[in-house]
């Protein structure tokens, strides 16, 4: 496609949950536009689609451009997030984002037209980017050409066809650091079970990667086995993810043996592991299953970690159980060096695609030898499962003595 030149005006928004890439990506895009196309005007919608609906934006001034590099040192999002689904009219009205009788897509489209935005850069997961694609299509029907170019943000690393989403590497590293402190709680009580609940609704990549990162860090630490500071006691004893079946009785027997020998047992579990069983139980009991605006089960409300902790502790005969969640600690961290490299490369491609007016989500395309390119919106979708045949994962599970049987 022919280069149509630098856009006159672009807008950014971040949406969904946090990930260790949002701040760095905003900073990277500002820096790339400043270096390559300094005359392109930039605005940021505050708090994602909520800000777009309410016309709440901030202009990126010369002073902000000059200091944008500082954003790569921070976590969170400097322009704020929200969970808003433009096609969920009732929810938008209930939250006061639009008036009764208004169409949220129409309100958002009118705002973009009013702001004369040519390129909308969205930084978010599949919900965020597909909402932007739908909005772009809506605008096209109105005769207004706007190009949407997304960046893939999700610590779950579960977006098709993208090999590695931004922030996921950092989240795994931070979860490992989190557990380095939590694991010492095993010395607080005899026959202790520690359950480390990691974010991951449908995909177990983050839980597995966090366990792998923790084991790698533990292998580098100086230990003193004679006084109980050993790899056997401080290590990971089980990893449970949505993609792998859990044989409760067999696992209870295996973990009981570890508990008898080490006086503690450490479990890493995805927040989405076993959710179907929990939901089925709640519905059978006539309980209401809490869901968000997108229809997803609110995992913090049903608490899978506690469910499994209670189940296993009874089978193992634990004296005390501790459930700890690293999600908010990990997802709000600044991007690490590995993620920063991918983020900055992605920002370069995103700005190039803006000049070419090529819509899509910039990511490592699994179907094109992991080439960093603008993946077509028609191919973007969430719910990608972790490949349990990955060599590093199967090796780790073999070392734990834990069978890998597809769920």
Q: Just list the catalytic residues.
A: 156
HEC string for the chain:
CCCCCCCCEEEEEECCCCCCCHHHHHHHHHHHHHHHCCCCEEEEECCHHHHHHHCCEEECCHHHHHCHHHHHHCCCCCCCCCCCCCCCHHHHHHCCCCCCCCCHHHHHHHHHHHHCCCEEEEEECHHHHHHHHHHHHHHHHCCCCCEEEEEEECCCCCCECECCCECHHHHHHHHHHHHHHHHHHHHCCCCEEEEEEECCCCCCHHHHHHHHHHHHHHHCCCCEHHHCECHHHHCCCEEECCCECCCHHHHHHHHHHHHHHHCEEEEEEECCCCHHHHHHHHHHCCCCCCECCCCCECHHHHCHHHHHHHHHHHHHCCCEEEEEECHHHHHCCCCCHHHHHHHHHHHHHHHHHHHHCCCEEEEEEHHHCCEEEEECHHHCECCCCCCCCCHHHHHHHHHHCCCCCEC
Which token pair is 101?
Answer: 């009788």
- Rounded Cα distance, 129 and 115, in Å: 20
Q: Are 363 and 159 in contact (CB under 8 A)?
A: yes
């Amino acid at each position: 496609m022919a280069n149509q030149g630098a856009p006159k005006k672009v807008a950014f928004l971040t949406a969904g949950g946090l990930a260790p890439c949002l701040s760095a990506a905003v900073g990277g895009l500002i820096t790339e536009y400043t270096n390559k196309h300094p005359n392109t005007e930039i605005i940021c919608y505050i708090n994602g689609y909520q800000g777009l609906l309410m016309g709440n934006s901030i202009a990126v001034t010369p002073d902000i451009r000059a200091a944008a590099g500082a954003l790569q040192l921070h976590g969170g999002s400097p322009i704020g997030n929200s969970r808003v689904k433009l096609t969920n009219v009732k929810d938008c009205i209930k939250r006061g984002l639009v008036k009764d009788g208004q169409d949220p897509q129409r309100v958002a489209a009118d705002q973009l037209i009013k702001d004369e935005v040519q390129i909308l850069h969205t930084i978010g997961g599949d919900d965020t980017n597909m909402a932007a694609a739908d909005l772009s299509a809506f605008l096209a029907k109105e005769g207004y050409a706007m190009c949407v170019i997304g960046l893939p943000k999700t610590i779950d690393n579960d977006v098709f066809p993208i090999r590695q989403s931004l922030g996921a590497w950092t989240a795994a590293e931070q979860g490992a650091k989190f557990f380095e402190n939590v694991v010492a709680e095993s010395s607080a009580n005899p026959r202790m079970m520690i359950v480390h609940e990691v974010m991951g609704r449908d995909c177990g990549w983050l839980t597995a990667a966090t366990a792998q990162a923790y084991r790698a860090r533990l292998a580098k630490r100086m230990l003193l086995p004679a006084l109980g500071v050993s790899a056997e006691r401080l290590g990971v004893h089980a990893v449970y993810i949505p993609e792998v079946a859990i044989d409760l009785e067999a696992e209870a027997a295996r973990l009981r043996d570890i508990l008898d020998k080490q006086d503690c047992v450490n479990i890493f579990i995805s927040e989405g592991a076993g959710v179907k069983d929990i939901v089925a139980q709640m519905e059978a009991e006539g309980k209401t299953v809490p869901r968000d605006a997108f229809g997803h089960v609110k995992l913090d409300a049903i608490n899978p970690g506690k469910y499994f902790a209670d189940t296993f502790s009874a089978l193992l005969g634990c004296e005390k159980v501790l459930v700890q969640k690293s999600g908010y600690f990990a997802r709000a961290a600044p991007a690490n060096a590995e993620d920063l490299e991918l983020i900055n490369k992605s920002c370069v491609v995103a700005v190039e695609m803006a000049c070419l007016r090529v819509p899509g989500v910039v990511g490592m395309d699994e179907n094109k030898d992991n080439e960093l390119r603008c993946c077509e919106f028609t191919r973007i979708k969430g719910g990608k499962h972790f490949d349990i045949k990955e060599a590093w994962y199967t090796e780790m599970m073999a070392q734990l003595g834990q069978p890998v049987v597809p769920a």
